[in-house]
Amino acid sequence: MNDDRTLLGDGRYPDTGPLAVGARLAFMGALAAIVIAVFLPPSMVPDFVESTYLQHFAAFYVAALCGLAAMPRTRLRPIALGYLLFATGLEATHLLSGARFGSLVDNWVADLGGLAAAFAPVMVERFRRRFPRPEAES
């Protein structure tokens, strides 16, 4: 059994290792930041980029990466479904405040784009692992 505990090794990483703990804290921080940004008045939310759609994309991209790192044993579908429901619920809260439905759909699509961008490399890597590696020639 390989007991390589380095970050990029193939061995197991401890659940209480600093990176594992940091990933869980980053995950909670990312979700909290999104929720706070949704409920703050627009004048109090800092503009990181000119486009609100890019802000939505980036927020959910970072949150999804943090979530994937924080839950390494959880299957991708439940994580993706949780984020989908989270994004849908947050955008739906704007309907209660009288926001235009069309802009909410655009924001929701940007949220899902960030999620897709974060999940795609993980899914491709899992697909690649299904193919056997050629035996090394001696």
The pLDDT tens digits for 43-98 are 787 777 788 899 999 999 999 999 999 999 999 999 999 999 999 999 888 888 77
HEC string for the chain: CCCCCCCCCCCCCCCCCHHHHHHHHHHHHHHHHHHHHHHCCHHHCCCCCCCHHHHHHHHHHHHHHHHHHHCCCCCHHHHHHHHHHHHHHHHHHHHHCCCCHHHHHHHHHHHHHHHHHHHHHHHHHHHHCCCCCCCCCC
Return mean pLDDT, the chain: 86
- Average pLDDT score over residue span 105-113: 93
Show me where the domains of the chain are located: 18-128
